[in-house]
Chain A
Amino acid sequence: MSTVSSSHDLEHGHAEPPRGLTRWLITTNHKDIGTLYLLFSLTMFFIGGAMALIIRAELFQPGLQIVDPHFFNQMTTMHALVMIFGAVMPAFVGLANWLIPMMIGAPDMALPRMNNWSFWIMPFAFTLLLSTLFMPGGGPAGGWTLYPPLVLQTGQAFPFVILAIHMMGASSIMGAINIIATILNLRAPGMTLMKMPLFVWTWLITAYLLIAVMPVLAGAVTMLLTDKFFGTSFFNAGGGGDPVMFQHIFWFFGHPEVYIMILPAFGIISMIIPTFARKPLFGYASMVYATASIAFLSFIVWAHHMFTVGMPLAGELFFMYATMLIAVPTGVKVFNWVSTMWRGAMTFETPMLFAIAFVILFTIGGFSGLMLAIAPADFQYHDTYFVVAHFHYVLVPGAVFSIMAAAYYWLPKWTGHMYDEKLGKLHFWLSVIGVNVLFFPQHFLGLAGMPRRIPDYALQFTEFNMISTVGAFLFGFSQLLFAYNVIQTIRGGAKATDQVWEGAHGLEWTLSSPPPYHTFTTAPEVK
């Protein structure tokens, strides 16, 4: 009898997670790893945000008040690296971990042990990166774009920064391989590619982008390393190299990277809007094709980041036209979201509010992107606050808002508790006001001629910088409400139903809230 029961226990030995810290260290469960990624991302969001607040505090008025220019440059560089690689990308990977298996009816990710490893590399990579701030000569101060020759002037931190980037890259590539393997192999019977939820589709395409470009970044930073320490001259004109070649390689990674940070956001928004409009997405197939077109175009537009380096006329024309073309599939997406809302029956819970703000503010970022594509005008816009305003509009009320929308949308499913709707709405309104007060005046600053990455500025830029700083502190501190709300929801709260939202469709909503530790051990049938 006892033998029977112990073999029974063995068979189901993984039904409940082990207790304590080891659970998180050795877990191979997609839900646990998703949680780890998301909490890591939230931590990095606050660290990167604190750096942004140092930048904005220094820029509150002209003159040098708080930090010296070298430290200011370290802050701009680290803020970008932490936010891109530490906050936005891991947040999307965390969402992918939690959601993709539940959306396609898979028991877990296809490669669970690698999943554990790809997460646990991240804390080490970022400890290494952040530790460079305390090294002789300080952290990297040449901008997150790492342009040589400037980046080669970095102090002792240099090789550590490169190693940290390699680690992040390895983690991203493993994450991407895992996502592709999961989506292509573990779909439930009947879940054909064209039936997959859009979040799954956008992540599938994103994962291919990651595999294509992260090795390119790795190559670029390795060449920097050998230029610095092993006497090569890839980017040194004195030895027959070319500093601009680094920019070409970097942006061949960098531009798809931009879409890596926005395609999953498109997927999230394409799932939230139909739920709260209680109406199917207007054009599912065209959304899939638009995503694929954007991904393709992302590989042939990189040099629009470098219109001022002195490319031949033919090159500038090509990159101008190709960049303008991106407006077409992006427009298709925006039109689709609006037509999904059209004649729906909308309600405005916090996820929907964030989704609507996403559509409007991302579109504003898209407009400034279209303006930046016009090469002759870009000669004026380039490297000014207009560019800063542009990419923050697509990244903050774009990518970050979509992540928050996703958190509010799926948190009741994950935790089994409803979040505090009042607090969520308050967080939304403070964020949406803060983010616009923060970034909208930066358009004016750029057009009026303020270069980016400067710690001090001429007097005519004072007013808008002050406004921007006020917005930054408002936006920054309102994120504490988000953290508070998330933690409270994890700890308890009103019981969530299985479907959570009246208009929600999809396999994840057929599970209980919270879902059991292991789900879909038997594949569901998709009709």
Chain B
Amino acid sequence: MATNRIARAGGMALGGVLLAWGAAARADFALNMTPGVTAISREVYDLHMLIFWICVAIGCVVFGVMFWSIYHHRKSRGAVPAQFHESTVVEIVWTVVPMLILISMAVPATKTLVRMADASEAELTIKVTGYQWRWRYDYLNEGIGFYSTLSTPQAQINAAAAKDEHYLLAVDQPLVVPVGKKIRILTTAADVIHSWWVPALGWKRDAIPGFINESWTLIEQPGVYRGQCAELCGKDHGFMPVVVEALPEAEYRQWLAKMREKNGQKTAQTTSGVKTL
């Protein structure tokens, strides 16, 4: 009886490993960070891959030595324990070598960090405000603003309807931005802390009530980029996605004109809406 149960548990574990193996072999879903669609996101991706391969290399050396030792230096193979310990030379080497590796990591990381911090000379400024549980986007120089709310129907969440392709990652009104322009993004929040994140842009930034954080991005390819709130913000934290639609300049202008027209009709409504919230 007990062995039966054990065999079943073992089989389950084996199944899990094989499943992981099979899943890794499939290429149609993500396994790794995206290189993204901005120069910064590619730098971040490169940093990520660099540190990843450094870790893999160190791991191979350390675990290689360890497994060799586990195989050869076992009592059942008649190994006789050596009694050596302490060696100043060895200890200096394994302190200094990691230091050098770290410095070689810190240099490119510092460069990228400095570039990410420079939000000057942006051509467009958008204020992103987090609410429980939706986002609001205000185009500060264009005089338009709107809320962006999850559009996945509740029926899909409760499994009463089939889930569509962009389940939980679709909104009623996405943030529309032009490609090829440096955009300054100011994040803040109206109630609790949220975090605005689009993986394809290469960063996330907290939206903090009473404070404004500054970030920037410059999207190179037109497309729809999806992300989510990344800071726990209450009951519906998992249900306030971010959708960014990057359009070529001309199409963006058209969208802007249309929005201004629509917005002009209901400016009064929107502002009063903000106040009551």
Q: Is A404 an interface residue (CB 8 A)?
A: no
A260 to B264, CA, bound (A): 59
Determine if B113 is an interface residue (Cβ-Cβ < 8 Å).
yes
Q: Which of A150, A236, A324, A331 contacts B232 (CB 8 A)?
A: A150
- The answer to whether B156 touches A63 (Cβ under 8 A) is yes
Measured CA separation A343–B83 after assembly (Å): 9
Contact partner of A448 among B32, B48, B58, B109, CB < 8 A? B32
B98 touching A331 by the CB < 8 A rule? Answer: yes
User: Do B213 and A346 touch across chains, with their CB atoms under 8 A apart?
Assistant: no
- Of the candidates B48, B74, B214, the one whose C-beta lies within 8 Å of that of A346 is B74
Smallest distance from the beta carbon of A294 to chain B beta carbons, Å?
Answer: 13
Task: Kindly state the separation between the CA atoms of A458 and B243 in the bound complex, as whole angstroms.
Answer: 13
Inter-chain contact B20/A456, CB cutoff 8 Å: no
Chain A at the B interface: mostly helix, strand, loop or mixed?
helix
Is B142 at the interface (CB under 8 A from chain A)? no
Within 8 A of A (CB), among B185-239: 187, 191-193, 195, 197, 199, 202-206, 208-211, 213-214, 226-239
Interface size on B, residues (CB 8 A): 104
A470:B232 contact, CB within 8 angstroms? no
Report the separation of the CA atoms of residues A363 and B60 in the bound assembly, to the nearest whole angstrom.
Answer: 12
Q: In the complex, which residue of chain B has the Cβ closest to the Cβ of A324? A: B102
Distance in angstroms from B144 CB to nearest chain A CB is: 25
- Flag if A370 contacts B51 (CB, 8 Å): yes
CB distance from A154 to the nearest CB of B (A): 10
- The residue in chain A whose Cβ has the minimal distance to the Cβ of B112 is A376
Question: Which residues in B have their C-beta under 8 angstroms from that of A339?
Answer: 90
Q: Are A454 and B238 in contact (CB under 8 A)?
A: yes
Tell me whether A377 and B51 are in contact in the complex, defined as CB-CB below 8 angstroms, given that A150-B192, A449-B199, A467-B23 are known contacts: yes
Q: Is the CB of B210 within 8 A of A359?
A: no
Number of A-B residue pairs at CB separation under 8 A? 312
How extensive is the interface on chain A, given as a class?
A: 35 or more
Cβ of A285: which chain B residues have Cβ within 8 Å of it?
86
- Collect the chain A residues with CB atoms within 8 Å of residue B109's CB: 320, 374-377
Whether A380 touches B32, Cβ cut-off 8 Å, given contacts A73-B235, A243-B210, is no
A342 near B65 with CB under 8 A, answer yes
Of A360, A376, A384, A457, the contact of B168 (CB 8 Å cutoff) = A457
Q: Given A286-B91, A341-B73, A477-B9: A308 and B66 within 8 A (CB)?
A: no
With A331-B94, A459-B165 known to touch, is A426 a contact of B6 (CB < 8 Å)?
Answer: yes
Set of chain B residues within 8 Å of A348, measured between Cβ atoms: 74
In the complex, chain A residues whose CB is within 8 Å of the CB of B214: 310
Does B271 sit within 8 A of A, measured CB to CB? no
Interface string of A454-478 (1 = CB under 8 A from B): 1111111001101100110010011
| Contacts A/B (CB < 8 Å), 22 sampled | A73-B232, A73-B234, A73-B237, A147-B231, A282-B85, A283-B85, A286-B91, A310-B206, A327-B102, A347-B76, A356-B70, A367-B55, A370-B51, A371-B55, A380-B33, A382-B195, A430-B9, A447-B33, A449-B199, A451-B197, A456-B239, A457-B238
Contact surface of B with A, Cβ cutoff 8 Å:
6, 9-10, 12-13, 15-17, 19-20, 23, 26, 29-34, 43-44, 47-48, 51-52, 55, 58-59, 62-63, 65-66, 69-70, 73-76, 79-87, 90-91, 94-95, 98-99, 102, 105-106, 109-110, 112-114, 116-117, 156-159, 163, 165-169, 187, 191-193, 195, 197, 199, 202-206, 208-211, 213-214, 226-239
